[in-house]
Structure 1
Amino acid sequence: MNAAYRKGETGLPELNGSLFQQALLEGEYGPHFFAYYYKQWNSYTMAYHQHHSTEIMYLISGSCIVDVWQDANAEERFRLKRGELIMLDANVPHRLIVEEGTSCRMLNVEFGFTASTGAAPSIARLAGEEEDLAALLRMPFRSLVLPDPEEVFHVLKSLVLELDRHGGDGEARGAGQGGIMIGLLFAELLLRLSRLRREQLQTSQQPSQLYVRRAIEFLHQNYDRSIQVKEVAAEVSVHPGYLHRIFRAHTGRTLTDYLNMLRMEKAKMLLGQSEIPVAEIADYVGISSRQYFHLLFKKYTRCTPVEYRNSIERFSWSDHQPTATDR
């Protein structure tokens, strides 16, 4: 799409609201927000409409339908459920339908682009360092549905809260208008969206990668308690035997071996960087038997926990007492 330059309310040159403009990859541009709100919808059919901005509609709960005109003669219908989002490019006609007797809660954000004057990285700088974002900006779409393992939702919530803090007077806000935090959160939003898109494209060809990634995320979030393979499999909605096979194929390790390795890495960190007694470290990494913890630690590190702690230098605040020259 061609860039349409105009002067915004701030006097800064703005582009049109589309993500897919060459100027975004070449100039110093950041976000300019026009609307951001939560909304509960109940048994509702919206008329077709369009915005001059890119829109993200995130479904927090319930279910809904979004109809999108893909061109002059083709309408496409998307059924969204909790934890999914749809991105709509600027000037794409669409409507929301919440079927009779149902409801949904949404978080919506609408944004365009303006010259970047803040300390947050511009879109071009981000795309120059992150190939996933560059690929997203070079692959135009009118609408895109993405599943979200709550990564995007947490960023969106933080972004909207920050916008509210800076934009309580109702004005549209951008990275240069609302401080560095808005620009940084928007940068994180774009990066997370672009990585979800890359994963979506990959898993459309090899869905097992998604199951393995979700299993690994579950292990990193729950290593401090007792975990069984069947529990991890239930979390990612696959049969335990199938998860075992694909996990080993993708990582070169069994799921149990990966979990034990993760636990020992966490134990090494706690032994080296904390004052937690050696006898309590096992509990911090989800192993109920101290004897078994010692056996595992020696297997993975070739030394005992005590030997490991004694072999490294640890920083302690007590090692350096303030002197008159420090004050």
Structure 2
Amino acid sequence: MGNGSIFDENLLKTDYSPIIYAYYYKQWNEFHMAFHQHDSTEIMYVIQGDCLVEWDGGTGGREKVVKLKKGEFILLDANVPHRLIVENTCRMLNVEFGFSDHSGYVPSIKQLAAEEEPLRAMISAPTSYLMLIDPDDVYHLLKSLALELDHRGSDGGVLDRMLMSQLLIRISRLRRETENNASHQVEQYVKQSIEFMHQNYDRSIRVNEMAAHVSLHPGYLQRIFKTHSGQTLMEYLTAVRMEKAKMLLQQTDIPIADISDYVGAGSRQYFHALFKKHTKQTPIEFRNSINTHRFLDKGENI
């Protein structure tokens, strides 16, 4: 293969085996690494302490950075310029790997991906990096891999390839679990925001207040809400208010002039404009149409 990217679609088309290029433990103390890149995918696992990993995502914009703590790791794609920044102390285990023509009895990445959907999905979703929190499975596999490579003199073998294949499967499953958890969390944020709107539609509320209620940045809440519901927060809130207004016009005798105060829609003029935009009728026309239907219903047997 031309490089060692785990996100190369050729891994799903042709038989290749994983191969380790480098592996090492290292304790870094107050260290700022220069930007560099290599033709291999790299796993940087924090055993103790914390560090920053900064990289160029390839978009031509400013670099991005993530903070890694104990039990967290980053998988960096091949040929992504990156550097390590350690302000205090950080002990890490690093593994750099790629792929070579398939040989031996261990299934190829293509064969594994055919059986493991999370692995196939990971390979098919190119990204500059994956940052994941390890429940300990990944570290045990990394440690076993390093010990086996030490034992064999780093020349590679059947068990090395088996451990590396198992490691990639575990990382892909962990990626899937993380995505599912994140999706569930997003659903919870959206649900809490909707509940807040239904409980507070009768007063003036802003995006900042909704975001504070769910402990999120306003911009992030706006983004996930629009993605999940297809509407902005204020569009959804306006729809809630208009549905409440329709109910009040239909089910009560509250004066039309007062309805805007009941649904927190601001001035009467603004409420009338919103209502007509949403229902194609003015509030008076809507109430009259309801009363007309009631009259016709009562007169059906006459």
Q: TM-score, normalised by structure 2?
A: 0.60
Bigger CA radius of gyration: 2
| Aligned mates of 1:150, 1:133 — CA distance in 2 | 19
Q: Deviations over 1:152-196 (max 9, x none)?
A: 00000001111112225xxxx4xxxx3211111011101100011
Look up the match of 1:81: 69
Query: In the aligned structure 2, how far is the partner of 1:147 from the partner of 1:118?
Result: 32
Q: Are positions 1:128 and 2:128 aligned together?
A: no
How far the C-alpha of 1:144 sits from its partner, in A, is: 1.2
Could you tell me which runs of 5 or more consecutive residues in structure 1 were left unpaired when the two chains were aligned: 1-13, 209-327
Equivalent in 24, 34, 43 of residue 37 of structure 1? 24
Structure 2 residues not aligned, in runs of 5+? 187-302
Q: Sequence identity of aligned pairs in percent?
A: 53
Which letter does structure 1 place at the counterpart of 2:93?
Answer: L
Residue type at the aligned position of 1:92: V
Determine if contact 1:155/1:189 at 8 Å carries over to the other structure. Answer: yes
| 196, 200, 206: which one aligns with 2:178 | 200
Corresponding residue number in structure 2 for 1:158: 144
Equivalent residue number for residue 279 of structure 2: none
2:97 aligned with 1:119: no
Q: Give per-residue Cα distances to partners, 1:58-78, cap 9 Å, x unaligned.
A: 000100001111122231110
Over aligned residues, Cα RMSD in angstroms?
Answer: 1.6
Q: Deviations over 1:220-253 (max 9, x none)?
A: xxxxxxxxxxxxxxxxxxxxxxxxxxxxxxxxxx
Three-state SS of the structure 1 residue aligned to 2:169 is: helix
Q: In structure 2, what is the equivalent of residue 181 of structure 1? A: 159
C-alpha contact (below 8 Å) 1:19/1:137 kept by paired residues = yes
Aligned residues: 186
Does the CA contact (< 8 Å) of 2:19 and 2:161 recur in 1?
Answer: no
SS at match of 1:196: helix
In the TM superposition, what whole-angstrom CA distance separates every residue of 1:241-275 from its partner, at most 9, and x where no partner exists? Answer: xxxxxxxxxxxxxxxxxxxxxxxxxxxxxxxxxxx
Distance in 1 (CA, whole Å) between partners of 2:185 and 2:161 is 33
Take 1:155 and 1:20, find their aligned partners in 2: how far apart are those partners?
A: 21
The change in CA–CA distance for 1:191 and 1:107 in structure 2 (over 3 A counts) is same
Contact conserved, 1:57 with 1:107, CA < 8 A, in 2? yes
Report the counterpart of residue 139 of structure 1 in structure 2: 125
Is the Cα–Cα contact under 8 Å of residues 42 and 104 in structure 1 kept in the other structure? yes
Provide the C-alpha distance between the structure 2 equivalents of 1:90 and 1:49, rounded to a whole number of angstroms.
Answer: 11
**CA distance in structure 1 between the aligned counterparts of 2:3 and 2:16, rounded to whole angstroms:** 12
Question: How far 1:133 sits from its partner (Å)?
Answer: 0.3
How far residue 106 of structure 1 moved from its aligned partner, in angstroms, is 0.2
Distance across 1 between alignment mates of 2:132 and 2:146: 20
